[in-house]
Amino acid sequence: MRIIPVDLGHCSYRIVLGHQVFAEAETGRLLAAAASDRKCLIVTDTTVGPLYADQAQASLVRAGAAACSVVTFPAGEASKTLSTVATLYEAAVSAQLDRSDCVVALGGGVVGDVAGFSAATYMRGVSYLQFPTTLLALVDSSVGGKTGVDLAAGKNLVGAFHQPSLVVGDLTFLGSLPVREMRCGLAEVAKYAMIMDVDFYGELMANAQLLLAREPRVAERVIARCCRLKVKVVQADETEQGMRAILNYGHTFGHALEKVGGFSRLNHGEAVSAGMGMAVDLASAAGLSSVDLPSRQDDLFSRLGLPLTASMPDVNPDDVLAAMQADKKVQGGRLRLVLPREIGRVEVLDYTDTERMLKAIEGRLG
């Protein structure tokens, strides 16, 4: 079991990671500090709820929660909407949650983002806990306090920064995660290596097979390293005024691919993988990085079973570029992109060469 502190002044909290962590006495103590004598509303989805809600509920009751109810919404990105948020507000009212009570997000990034946004806004803000159950949520979305929902116009267009009061990640929950969802998280794992940790790139190249097999010690070490890297960035720039933008590597391309695919053809990780491919090709073509950087990134992605392209040859690159222009990272009409310089180092740039961008997009659509 590992405990990683997140130092954000009065919003500081801890990340507890390990196998069977809910059975650990220390987890019980931290849960008691966050939830005892409070009414808790566990928010989960239709896949995760039947698997783990009873266990989460029992842990919260053992930790002294005053009451603990569960609300479930349909699994998947399509539920990341304001209408789901409205149903969560209704559930909070029914459970008589007041400002001293708390929301518990039990699930992947969708549950975490929607539950976190509901907690940020219900009664002008109640506390919330994250119990991440996907690899993506463990290494990325449960840490750092970004919450939000999608609009028809694009992903994550409505949201709030709201830090959780505790994150408890039981890695045994990964045992039931489908391989496709596992890969989704591996895209974010690979991202950390590419943007800020060349040694981690080497570790992932060496341990890809064990990681794919979910070997417990390797999985725990890798997930903890990702959390520490994310914490480092969030501590330096909690509300994305500067450095935190590096975490968006591949995401401006990726979100656009998700959108042109109607949010159903690619999942988030697949889109971000192809998006990082587009970004590295663009960096190399623009002379920002060495010519072999795309193949070095592709080597790592192949080992991790990540897609190198979007597999959407029918899509027009202009539509992807148009979707990128609508992304919220456009500032003053200029597209802001995270582009790699070398493994472990990226730069955030206002990029204007449309021709080169279209070429980079086209090269990874098929």
Ligand X SMILES: NC(=O)c1ccc[n+]([C@@H]2O[C@H](COP(=O)([O-])OP(=O)(O)OC[C@H]3O[C@@H](n4cnc5c(N)ncnc54)[C@H](O)[C@@H]3O)[C@@H](O)[C@H]2O)c1
User: Is residue 244 flagged as an active site residue?
Assistant: yes
Q: Does 120 bind ligand X (CB under 6 A)?
A: no
Nearer to ligand X, 44 or 297 (CB): 44
Identity (one letter) of the amino acid at 237? Answer: D
Q: Phi/psi of residue 132, each to 5°? A: -70, 140
Q: Could you tell me which stretch among 56-64, 103-111, 119-127, 284-292 binds ligand X (CB under 6 A)?
A: 103-111
Q: Could you tell me which stretch among 35-43, 130-138, 204-212, 214-222 binds ligand X (CB under 6 A)?
A: 130-138
Beta carbon of residue 113, minimum distance to ligand X (angstroms, whole number): 5
Q: Phi/psi of residue 39, each to 5°? A: -80, 135
Beta carbon of residue 345, minimum distance to ligand X (angstroms, whole number): 21
Q: Phi/psi of residue 97, each to 5°? A: -70, 135
Residues 8-47 that bind ligand X (CB under 6 A): 45, 47
Among 39, 162, 183, 244, the one annotated catalytic? 244
CA 349 to chain centre: 23
CB 154 within 8 A of CB 327: yes
**What tokens appear for 277 in the block?**
């491919």
Report angle CA 318, 321, 324 to the nearest 5 degrees.
155
Identity (one letter) of the amino acid at 304? Answer: L
According to CB under 6 A, which one of 27, 121, 141, 284 is a site residue for ligand X? 141
Q: Does 169 bind ligand X (CB under 6 A)?
A: no
Nearer to ligand X, 145 or 294 (CB): 145
Nearer to ligand X, 144 or 250 (CB): 144
User: Is residue 90 flagged as an active site residue?
Assistant: no
* Helix and strand numbers, DSSP H then E, in the chain: 13, 11
Among 24, 77, 240, 342, the one annotated catalytic? 240
Beta carbon of residue 133, minimum distance to ligand X (angstroms, whole number): 4
Q: Does 80 bind ligand X (CB under 6 A)?
A: yes
- Nearest-angstrom CA–CA distance, 236 and 192: 16
User: Is residue 230 flagged as an active site residue?
Assistant: yes
Beta carbon of residue 26, minimum distance to ligand X (angstroms, whole number): 22
CB 216 within 8 A of CB 249: no
Minimal CB distance to ligand X: which residue? Answer: 109
Beta bridge mates, 335: 351
- Nearest-angstrom CA–CA distance, 180 and 199: 26
User: Is residue 240 flagged as an active site residue?
Assistant: yes
Q: Does 133 bind ligand X (CB under 6 A)?
A: yes
Q: Does 134 bind ligand X (CB under 6 A)?
A: yes
User: Is residue 162 flagged as an active site residue?
Assistant: no
116: nearest Cα among 107, 103, 98, 101: 103
Residues 226-265 that bind ligand X (CB under 6 A): none
CA-to-CA separations, 320 to 69, 113, 253, in angstroms, rounded: 42, 25, 8
Q: Does 48 bind ligand X (CB under 6 A)?
A: yes
Nearer to ligand X, 269 or 340 (CB): 269
Among 191, 230, 259, 296, the one annotated catalytic? 230
Q: Across 26-66, where does the E strand assignment appear?
A: 39-45
- Nearest-angstrom CA–CA distance, 235 and 9: 10
Which residues here bind ligand X, judged by CB under 6 A? 45, 47-48, 51, 75-77, 80, 107-111, 113, 133-134, 136-137, 140-141, 144, 146, 155-156, 173, 176-177, 181, 184, 268
